[in-house]
Structure 1
């Protein structure tokens, strides 16, 4: 009986020493910016966030000029809105590869990752929203003997 009590005390000490959830630390460079890379399809976005007024710059152009469609701008702002930080951070990013939709997804992914590096407490909110998951869907390659990835050539009986 004494051994059981002793082992239970040992378990409680172990739990206190090693908490269940891993602790994330703030990752910021010398200029006070958090950096992250976002990816979607063939697009890659390098994103820096720093405290500011909420200005978003993509490839040295404003977000309204680079992403003319409102849907893409709304998509990019989703992580900031979910974390209630829409007017607290300036975002500077360079994006390359893919089309506009893929680039917007890459910027969104990069902003979400950079937010978690700047404020690790936001991780649970962004994770719940699905912003930290890299969308791994990419275009399927064309196979030989096929017209496209899966479509066969037209069959002719005669």
Structure 2
């Protein structure tokens, strides 16, 4: 288990999407070490290019692929939601390191949490909005 502590040379931030939560620790390094729950990011996200590209959007936007190592702890949700939670946390971590990146990340919406979650089921209905079949007689 990775113990996350804040020092001057690192940044720790969290992000969320649906029920997925992510904590990202950004450390100066070579950029080759991107660990998600103790595994390489490509292994954890099953070499899915969409998830990996989505997750590293902030890193690619500021051209820091080879400057920082990333340690990520994720829980809850599916792989897609986890990748989006990591994207938010990584954006926040870069802004924590470099406040001047705030405008760069704010414009494409990388600092905004997507608030859409599953709607609760209501009584008298089968699902959140699906009603039982109506019978006229």
TM-score, normalised to structure 2's length?
A: 0.90
| 1:33-56 CA-partner distances (Å, limit 9, x unpaired) | 101011111011011001112221
1:155 and 2:137 matched: no
Q: What corresponds to 1:56 in structure 2?
A: 34
| CA RMSD, Structure 1 to Structure 2 (Å) | 1.4
| 1:82-107 CA-partner distances (Å, limit 9, x unpaired) | 11112211110100011111111111
Distance in 1 of aligned mates of 2:104 and 2:29: 21
**Structure 1 unaligned residues grouped into runs of 5+:** 1-27
**Structure 2 unaligned residues grouped into runs of 5+:** none
Relative to total residues, which structure has the larger helix share, 1 or 2? 1
Looking at CA atoms only, which structure, 1 or 2, has the larger radius of gyration? 1
* Aligned with residue 41 of structure 1, among 12, 18, 25: 18
Tell me, yes or no, if the aligned pair for 1:83 and 1:126 is still in contact at 8 Å.
Answer: no
2:81 match: secondary structure: helix
TM-score, normalised to structure 1's length?
A: 0.79
